[in-house]
Amino acid sequence: MLAKLLMIPGPINFDHEVVRAMSKMTCSHIAPEFREIFGDTLKKLKEVFISEGQPFVIAGSGTLAMEMAATNVIQRGEKALVVNNGVFGDRFVDIFKAHGIDVDQIQTEWGKAADPAEIREKLESDDYKVITITHVDTSTGIANDLEAIGNVVKDFDTLYIVDAVCSLAGQRLYQDKYHVDVCLSGSQKALGVPPGLALLCFNQRALDAHAKLKQPVECFYTSVNNWLPIMQAYENNMPSYFATPAVNLIFALHESVNQILAEGMEVRFARHEKLAAMMRKGLTDMDFKLVPENGCAANTMSAVYHNGITDAEFRGQLSQEGVIVAGGLGRLKGKIFRVGHMGSINENDICATLGAIQRTLDLF
Ligand code: PMP
Find the 2 Cα to ligand 1 centroid distance in Å.
28
Question: Residue 131 contacts by C-beta under 8 Å, 6 or more apart in sequence?
Answer: 80, 81, 82, 83, 119, 123, 153, 158, 159, 160, 161
- Dist CA 84 CA 86 (whole Å): 6
Chain centroid to Cα 289, Å, comes to 24
Which residue minimizes the CA distance to atom 9 of ligand 1? 62
Which residue minimizes the CA distance to atom 14 of ligand 1? 62
- Dist CA 334 CA 323 (whole Å): 18
- Burial of 107 per CB tally in 10 Å (0-12, 13-18, 19+): middle
**With respect to CATH, is domain 16-261 assigned 3.30.70.141?**
no
Q: What is the CATH number of domain 5-12+265-362?
A: 3.90.1150.10
Find the 64 Cα to ligand 1 centroid distance in Å.
9
The residue count for the chain: 364
Q: Is 170 in the pocket of ligand 1 (CB under 6 A)?
A: no
- The residue extents of the domains of the chain are 5-12+265-362, 16-261
Each residue's pLDDT expressed in tens, for the chain with a length of 364 residues? 568 999 999 999 999 999 999 999 999 999 999 999 999 999 999 999 999 999 999 999 999 999 999 999 999 999 999 999 999 999 999 999 999 999 999 999 999 999 999 999 999 999 999 999 999 999 999 999 999 999 999 999 999 999 999 999 999 999 999 999 999 999 999 999 999 999 999 999 999 999 999 999 999 999 999 999 999 999 999 999 999 999 999 999 999 999 999 999 999 999 999 999 999 999 999 999 999 998 999 999 999 999 999 999 999 999 999 999 999 999 999 999 999 999 999 999 999 999 999 999 999 9
Q: Is 62 in the pocket of ligand 1 (CB under 6 A)?
A: yes
- Burial of 32 per CB tally in 10 Å (0-12, 13-18, 19+): exposed
